[in-house]
A and B are shown apart, each in its own frame.
Chain A
Amino acid sequence: MAFIEIVNLGRTVGGRDILKSINLKVERGEVFALIGPTGAGKTTLLRLIDILDAPTSGKIYFDGADTATSTQERLKVRRRMAFVLQKPVVFNATVYENIACGLKWRGLGGYELRRKVDNLLDMVGLAEYRRRNARTLSGGEAQRVAIARAIAVAPEVLLLDEPTANLDPVSASRVQELIARAGDGKTTIVMSTHDMAQGQRLAGRIGVLVGGELLQVGSSKDIFTLPRSREVAEFVGVENILNGVVVMNEERVVTIDVGGKMVEAISDYGKGEVVLTCVRPEDITLSLARVSSSARNSFAGEIVRVVAVGPLARVEIDCGFALVSLVTKRSAEEMGLAKGRQVYATFKATGVHVITKDA
């Protein structure tokens, strides 16, 4: 049995299913990220794992034992975990007192307590604030206190709910560093985030939670490149999801009819199957003339819109179907990519990911 094993877990509040039949195994020492849009049920799932709420149906096993037991047993289990809530919560007490509280509740005191808390204060870079009331800290500082307070109790499981959601970029990266350091191979971390990149950076495995359902669980690479359904594909940033029908499959090279245009991909789908053809925008190359290359797919089209996205330009092209390509801003400038311009959009057959339409 896995360290944390969730079986058919459901939670209904006021007639609304927040979570529907969740099955998930998390191994000891793993860093697992739950990703999904706001309102997908991520917080609810984390709260259930921490036994702050009770599930409507299903079970959670922690270290081999059912967690739905007596209050005393639940407290014991909860004392092996720590949970950092999304909105930084600090007690109306000094920074020192905040970090010390979990240890105090476990009966620690005296020199040992002081030593541990001082170490943590150094670690999160808040040593000079030790005597300050934690309520006077900024959001980023408060979240660092909250994380230090959670790490203080040396939890076997660290639960983090959108740890950087409310923070500015600088604070967010500091908090991410802390999380990366907490994932020492011994501590199991289950975190939620709506930031795909963060999940990829920090987690070994990712679960995609949409509308209360765990749609896909896998390595971050798999989730990113091989989404199993439209919802997952959309969430992980696959912007080009085209409806198509397989017209031919020769030795796993399939030809898909996408609105009259033929797209080649590598897949096991057979002739006649209705599929979704997924292409990541960064995998699409743009050129002003038709280029001869090994790439199997190249379509002429007209630029509909160019939008700057940081160092990149997001180019929307109409080539019988809509395609979105991401190129560097410099490329866009040098090539003179602008609305109305005729371009060729090229991508490799191996850059196409095909999924069943009704999945």
Chain B
Amino acid sequence: MSELWNGLVRAVQLIVSLDLEVMAITGRSLQISVVATVLASAVCLPLASVIHFQHFTGKRFVISLIQTLYSLPTVVIGLLVFVLFSRTGPLGGLDLLFTPTVMVVGQVVLIIPVLLGLTITAFSGVNRAIIDTAQSLGASGFQTAVAVIKEARFAAVAAVTLGFGRAISEVGVAIMVGGNIRGFTRVLTTAISLETSKGDVELSLALGIILVAIALIINLALNRIQQR
């Protein structure tokens, strides 16, 4: 119990004193996950509307496939990205392995299925009558899609929130393709993992609390957006 208590005290100390390393790690975590979430959202929103609004053969299969990928282990994605970007891999020439950039790539790959699947579900949740109404009022195909996206905005925001949550809390991709390099690719989750194995449970706990606090703040902020 004392460890937990000391961890809490230490966390407060580290946060209040704006400990440089902790701030740097936190900032890096946020930056990588936010960029990954923004990129994934930019891909998923249009892609989800295409999948939802277009009729094509194999649509059901595509959606099932996307949903299956929800549960893809992060280490498997880490491995995949690692192989792609390693010196001998097809993208090895870019020399991006063990950089924040490749971590972003990995997290984008990680959260795309969740974001895509949940956004499609969000669109399907929009009443058919909304589409009819938009069309009958003279909306073009594109305008109808925009109307549906607007109707689905709450559920879509929830999808983005979940995507961000998965990105900032994952450790598999970050450690495999980022390498946990101090001051460069070390993020909250990899730092926690490292400090715990080094025996510094207090610091780990402090970082963990910061991680949860970030998740909480972001969720609250998105909830405010949803309520509008």
Contacts and interface: CB of A to CB of B under 8 A. Distances in A.
Question: Are A and B associated in one complex?
Answer: yes
Interface of A: 47, 50, 52, 71, 75, 78-79, 81-83, 85, 87, 89, 91-93, 101-102, 105-106, 146, 149-150, 153, 159
A106 B129 CA distance: 20
Given A81-B136, A83-B132, A93-B150, 4 more contacts: A52-B135, A82-B137, A92-B151, A102-B138
B65 interface: no
Interface string B134-178: 111111110100010011010000000000000000000000000
Contact of B136 (A52, A71, A106): A52
Nearest to B154: A92
Contact of A89 (B133, B140, B143, B150): B133
A324 B151 CA distance: 52
Most-contacted residue by chain A among B130, B138, B141 (CB, 10 A): B138
Contact of A85 (B132, B138, B151): B132
B127 interface: yes
Contact of B127 (A50, A89, A105): A89
B139 A105 contact: yes
**Which size bracket describes the interface of B in this complex?**
10 to 19
A105 B143 contact: yes
A163 to B, nearest CB: 14
| Chain B interface mostly | helix
A150 B137 contact: yes
A149 B137 contact: yes
Given A71-B141, A91-B151, A105-B140, A78 B135 contact: yes
A52 B138 contact: no
A152 to B, nearest CB: 9
Contacts of B141: 71
B39 to A, nearest CB: 27
Contacts of B133: 83, 85, 89, 91, 146
A71 B138 CA distance: 12
A159 B133 CA distance: 12
8 contacts: A78-B138, A83-B133, A87-B129, A89-B127, A89-B133, A91-B130, A149-B137, A153-B138
Contacts of B153: 92
A50 B136 CA distance: 7
Contacts of B139: 101, 105
Contacts of B129: 85, 87, 89
Contacts of B143: 105
Contacts of B135: 52, 78
A91 B150 contact: yes
Contact of A153 (B127, B132, B137): B137
Contacts of B151: 91-92
Contacts of B138: 75, 78-79, 82, 102, 105-106, 153
Nearest 5 Cβ contacts at the A-B interface: A83-B136, A102-B137, A79-B138, A89-B133, A89-B129
B132 A52 contact: yes
A146 to B, nearest CB: 8
Interface in B72-123: none
B187 to A, nearest CB: 37
Contacts of A82: 136-138
B136 A91 contact: no
Nearest to B132: A52
A54 B140 CA distance: 17
A78 B136 contact: yes
Most-contacted residue by chain A among B127, B139, B153 (CB, 10 A): B139
A87 B129 CA distance: 9
A105 B143 CA distance: 7
A272 to B, nearest CB: 53
B3 to A, nearest CB: 48
Nearest to A152: B137
Contacts of B140: 75, 105
A111 B6 CA distance: 63
B158 to A, nearest CB: 15
A13 to B, nearest CB: 14
A7 B203 CA distance: 79
B150 to A, nearest CB: 7
Nearest to A93: B150
A52 to B, nearest CB: 6
Nearest to A104: B143
A101 B134 CA distance: 8
B15 to A, nearest CB: 39
A265 to B, nearest CB: 46
